[in-house]
Each structure stands twice: as structure tokens, then as C-alpha cells.
Structure 1
């Protein structure tokens, strides 16, 4: 089994890379999806969030009110760390379960937006970073997600820097071109990943 950590800044196109790796045969474990699952209605994760932040973070239906929670933790380092201490261990445990159930010869891709920020690079055999210039990140966020330049730059600044991500990368995927360009690059990356033995270490 080859364990790959996939990351990239907001607007870099990490989701496009993740889906294309899945098409090529990778087992993709999406930490964003798991982060929603572990605080779904009825979970102990949601109960702990409510205990920490109060019933105001619930909708009338008993689901997590993400905008309400976001207002509490945005800009509050202590609150953010409290939330992460609830969610991150559960996400990692669930990811480990999925990985354990994968074939022994699988290429398992852990899609983790905050891989660098949470210090997880050393957990993987290969770290794959999706990279674009900051100017292109801003352009994509303003044109595709309706953000202002200020909002886009704030979101980018809240993440690890481009330099910090590249510093931990074993494989860098340049996604500044077209989707056809990306497919060609990923064909080569997939060959590279498939050529590694199960004992590959960073």
C-alpha cells in the first residue's frame, strides 16, 4: 500500500486532482467529507461540539449549524483549537478505518486541505501538492466563487503559504493550465505513484 497525502491551497484545483486520481484507481479518503460525517446528527462528535459551544450551534432540526459555528470560531484561536481537538482525531480514526479496509496493493490518497497546517506531512509515504501562483488562486476565487479580492486574499492568507506547501512536497502538480494539461500531468504522476513499492518512505 502506498499512502499519499494530497493538499493544495484554496483555488488550486485539489478537488479536480483528487477526482482524477480516483478515476485512475486510487482509493481517495476526503477529510472534508469525513469532517462532516463525524459531526452529523446523532454522533458523539456533534454532542461534544454542542457541549463546547452551546445549543446555538444547532439548527431547528438538530443538525450542526455551520454558519453559526463559523461565526464563533472565526478569528478566535482558542475556539478554533477546541473545535479542531474534537473533529481532527475523529477524522483521522475514520480515515484509518477506511485505509485498513483497502486492498494491500492500493494507492490510498488522503485528501487533506490543511495537511501542512496540521503537521501531517510525515504521516505519508508521498506528499503530493497541487500548485498554482497566488495570483491565479485569487482570480479563480473571484471568478468562480464570487469572492472579492479582499476576501480571496484573506482566505489564502489564512492557510499555509505556497512556499510552506512546496517545502514538504515530494510531487508537485502544476494546475495553472487547462484540464487537459492536468490530465496529461496526472498520467505521469500516476505512473510515478504506481511504480513505488509498498515500502516507499519519504
Structure 2
């Protein structure tokens, strides 16, 4: 089984590329989606996060905006949160691998792959990238996003150029969806997972 990591900074198009890989028949593990589930209504981390950051739980779920406001300015608070969350994500990842043991390849959508030193767990690393103006426009179009919040998020992410330099493959999502899909197909063909169209 080939384990493929998909990463890239915020707003680069990881979800789009992951969906294209899923359409090609590759099971996808979405680390962010797993975190949202664990922090959502009845999620396994709700009580622990609220104990660590009192008042962040609302109606049985973590208020992600409130939690972000508490940790994005405080490096120690962010580290404490990551110490709680990352092992649980790893546990879910291991269960995903076991559940898909017969698949020839698995894709892991992990936004902070390089920031957490996790790239060594994978056979191939794909970085999704886009021009800075495209990235900014995409992110600022998200509900609740502000320029200040966007800048804080970027501060804790490795620069795009560094990620590109460390990748096995780079997908540029600054063009059309068809151009992105052609790059995905080419990479899958290079990995022996699907013929290029």
C-alpha cells in the first residue's frame, strides 16, 4: 500500500484535489474533518477541550471560532491544544488504514504535515499550491474570515515556497479545474495508480 500525504497552506485547494483523488477510487483520510467531528456535537474531545479552555463549548460542541480566538495569539495554548488533538487524529488515521488495508493506495489530507514533522510517515508527499493573490481571495471569501485572522493562520504555517521545495509532486490550483484535474491524473499515472487521460 502506498501512503500519500496531501498538504498545502490554507486556501490552496486541498479539498478539491482530495475529491479528485477520491473520484479516482483512492480512499481519503481528511484530518481536518476528523477534528471537526471530534469537536462537534457529542464529539470525544468536547469535554477535554472545554476543560482546558473553559467556556469554549456551546450546546455540546466546541465553538471553533471562540477556540481559535483563544489559541491563535498564544503559542503555549496552541501547543496544549495540539498535544490533546494530534494523538487522537493519529489514532483515527491508524483505524482508517486498517479499515482500508486492501487498497493499493491511501491519501491523507493533512494541512499541517510539515509543521508537525509528519512527512516521514508517508511514501509520497503532494503539495497543493496557488499564487498568493488567488490564495488570499479564496480564504477571505470564507464566512467569518478577516484579514487579521488570515495573517495569524499564515504565521503558523510553513511558507508555500518551503512546502513546494520539500514535495515529491506539486499541484498548481491557480488555473481551471480541468488543469488541476490533469495534474492529478498525471501524478496518479506516475504513481501507477491510474492512467493519464
- Equivalent pairs counted in the alignment come to 193
Root mean square deviation of aligned Cα: 2.1
- Which residue number in structure 1 is paired with residue 39 of structure 2? 39
- Which residue number in structure 1 is paired with residue 142 of structure 2? 145
Equivalent-residue separation in structure 1 for 2:70 and 2:147 (angstroms): 24
Which whole-Å deviations, capped at 9, do the CAs of 1:15-54 have from their partners, x for residues lacking one? 1100000000111000011112223444542222122122
TM-score by length of 1: 0.86
- Which residue number in structure 1 is paired with residue 157 of structure 2? 159
Maintained 8 Å contact 1:9/1:113: yes
Which whole-Å deviations, capped at 9, do the CAs of 1:120-165 have from their partners, x for residues lacking one? 11110000001122232123334x3375655544433331101221
For structure 2, list consecutive stretches of 5 or more residues without a partner in the other structure.
Answer: none
TM-score by length of 2: 0.88
- Structure-2 change in CA distance of 1:120 and 1:78 (3 Å): same
Which whole-Å deviations, capped at 9, do the CAs of 1:72-116 have from their partners, x for residues lacking one? 112101111111111110011101101111043431001011111
- Which residue number in structure 1 is paired with residue 27 of structure 2? 27
- Which residue number in structure 2 is paired with residue 125 of structure 1? 123
Q: Which moved more, 1:82-91 or 1:31-40?
A: 31-40
Maintained 8 Å contact 2:128/2:170: yes
- Which residue number in structure 2 is paired with residue 113 of structure 1? 111
For structure 1, list consecutive stretches of 5 or more residues without a partner in the other structure.
Answer: 197-202
Equivalent-residue separation in structure 2 for 1:71 and 1:29 (angstroms): 27
- Which residue number in structure 2 is paired with residue 81 of structure 1? 79
